[in-house]
Homo-oligomer: A and B are copies of this chain.
Amino acid sequence: MPPLIQRIVLVGTGLIGTSLGLALYANGFAGGITGIDQSRDEGLEALRLHSVSSLATDETRQRAALHEADVIVLAVPVLAILDWMARLAPLLRPHQLVTDVGSTKLAIASAAQRLCPGQFLPGHPMAGKEAGGAALAEATLFKGAPWLYTPLHATTSIEAEWREWTERIGAHTSDVAPARHDELCAWLSHLPQFVSTALSALLEDTFGDAPELRAIGGRALREMTRLGSSPFSMWRDVAHTNETAVAATLLALEQRLSHVRENLHTPELREEFRLANRFRKHSSP
């Protein structure tokens, strides 16, 4: 039996899309991968890196590539994924699979039920860097990284084949319900991001480019603010599509910080460190 997946269209050749193309080819994918990106430079960079075998730069070529694709991967920020789903819905052919890499899943899963029932597998590779762009792409980006799926129906043959590819490139796949995904990610991914952004913005307001910053900041500061470089474009979409859960985690942390602040001089501080030490033991790989 020939493989079901021979032609892939990558919508979005930024860091994730381009890394995905590189990873697939590095791990034996022998078919064609066509890239689509609104930025001509990102597309050309993906082509130069051999992450895609061709680019579809105009409407006509895009339609042709999408028509011929076995799998269409939406590797753009969440709101752009929703736009693409609406655009793709009337064009889809019955055997085609659409999947995505968006950071939130509830809005996408719900749109999928409406727009392309039975043909959409929501996915979320938890890999990335603090800066985006095809130029930073790596074939090993997904090695050891979680790749969550929030399936909406029993696994189809083409979905099974796609899942195998994501495992072959090194990701650890697992399934979770869309609402639970967004709640978990609010705590474990979105909260750390917004905290790092708030801390970085606060320090920028306090210090600007004061020379002391470079003289004093060490590894701890660097790590706690690294996510401060993350692009607004991606995180705006997370904030828009997971607002309630993210707001709840932020409020919980505000209360926790105020608890620490009020107990800097009491035995309760020891309990906070005990819990924090324990968390690190639980969460270490």
Contact = CB atoms under 8 A, between A and B. Distances in A.
Interface of A: 126-127, 130, 145-146, 148, 172, 174, 176, 184-185, 187-189, 191-209, 212-218, 220-232, 235-236, 239-240, 243, 246-247, 250-254, 256-261, 264-265, 269-270, 272-280, 282-283, 285
A209 B282 CA distance: 5
A254 B243 CA distance: 18
B224 A278 contact: no
Contacts of A174: 215
Contacts of A224: 192, 195-196, 223-224, 227
9 contacts: A146-B218, A188-B203, A188-B213, A189-B218, A192-B224, A198-B260, A239-B264, A247-B261, A253-B257
Contacts of A187: 203, 206-207
B221 A192 contact: yes
Contact of A251 (B215, B231, B261): B261
Nearest to A189: B220
Contacts of A269: 232, 235-236, 239
Contacts of A201: 256, 272-273, 275-276, 279
B283 A229 contact: no
A38 B217 CA distance: 31
Given A228-B279, A232-B273, A261-B247, A146 B202 contact: no
B189 A195 contact: no
B226 A223 contact: yes
A199 B258 contact: no
Given A146-B218, A195-B224, A273 B235 contact: yes
Contacts of A216: 126, 146, 148, 184-185, 188-189
Contacts of A259: 198
Nearest to A218: B126
B270 A214 contact: no
A257 B261 CA distance: 15
Contacts of A195: 195, 199, 224, 257
Among A225, A275, A276, chain B packs the most CB atoms within 10 A around the CB of A276
